[in-house]
Amino acid sequence: MPLDPEVRRIIASSPPIPADLSSLSAQELRRNADRGMLSLYTGKEPVGSVEDLSVRTRDGSIGARIYRPAVDGRPLPLIVYYHGGGFVYYSVETHDNICRLLSTLSGAAVLSVGYRLAPENKFPAAAHDAYDSLVWAIDSAGDLGIDPRRIAVAGDSAGGNLAAVASLMARNSGLRGAPRAQALVYPVLNLADMSPSRFEFSEGYMLEERMDRWFVSQYLRDPSEARDPYASPLLAEDLRGLPPALILTAEYDPLRDQGEIYAHRLRTAGVDAVATRYLGMVHGFVRYYWVLGAGRDAISHVAGYLGRVLRGE
């Protein structure tokens, strides 16, 4: 399918990537990216309630935000959500509307995790925060009004990586009952990726190859860490026993192949996994859901899938 006309307009109006990435400041990029994403929305999605929290982790504490739908009955199922942003930028605040909508459409509470960002916090800081926040949610279920037996994880882009990593860590640690499912939206699953889509869409399709390499350089202390399954879950030798997965990919995304390969490997390992490719879309299309129907459809897709799993349907 041709590139969606609205996506083409979005790409054309996006600021160019600096010619010299070596001089790029992560802090400046973070400020500009956060400001740009917040400018996409002209209002707030309705949701039952919103509460800012502090989550205890092995290294201290991190910020988080919990959204509860306007539904009767407790305890609620929970979706632990990890935002995208190349491990470098975006935040609980930038993904506020996405999490509001996800909570309302799924009928579940959503815990949005403010994991530590690179380059100030290198791998495995974000991975540890992702898993620790899942464990914290289980341990705090009574206080949060959630059902610890009905917890799923989800995330977009780098957050999709963290959702997959949290699932892998949970299995390897013997964490019982959680997560029940994982929803990965155009996830980065292999930091050493050499798949065809990485080269076919390396330039001109929102996420460019040289920017992607820069993100990896900010996240990892050493390039050899790209082979660690907790950095690149696609490279894990054994995927048996992982939770069911929904993986959404975009047709014109350099990360497309690794998401679809992961779904195939999960199925081969006996895991119920579905990959859905959004035609005409590029990496990051969900954040434009305010103007892109496909973005809202993708959020609805994730909400419907996780809602059904968490209700036991």
Catalytic residue positions, numbered: 157, 253, 283
- Spatial strand order of the sheet with 146-156 comes to 49-57, 60-68, 109-114, 76-82, 146-156, 182-185, 245-250, 273-278
Q: Are 161 and 118 in contact (CB under 8 A)?
A: no
Name the residue among 134, 30, 21, 10 with its Cα closest to residue 82.
134
Rounded alpha-carbon distances, angstroms, from residue 312 to 71, 136, 151, 194, 232: 18, 23, 12, 38, 30
State CA 208 to chain mean position distance.
Answer: 18
> Which run of H or E residues covers position 9?
helix 5-13
Q: Which residues of 56-95 are buried (b: 16+ CB within 10 A; e: fewer)?
A: ebeeeebebbbbbbeeeeeebbbbbbbbbbbbbbbbbebb
What is the three-class DSSP state of 283?
Answer: coil
Q: How far apart are CA 6 and CA 14, in angstroms?
A: 12
Extract the tokens encoding 252.
Answer: 């014109």
Which tokens sit at 208? 């460019």
Q: Which one, of 137, 223, 140, 219, lies nearest residue 180 by Cα?
A: 137
Interatomic CA distance for residues 159 and 144, integer angstroms: 22
Residue 25 to residue 22: CA distance in whole angstroms: 8
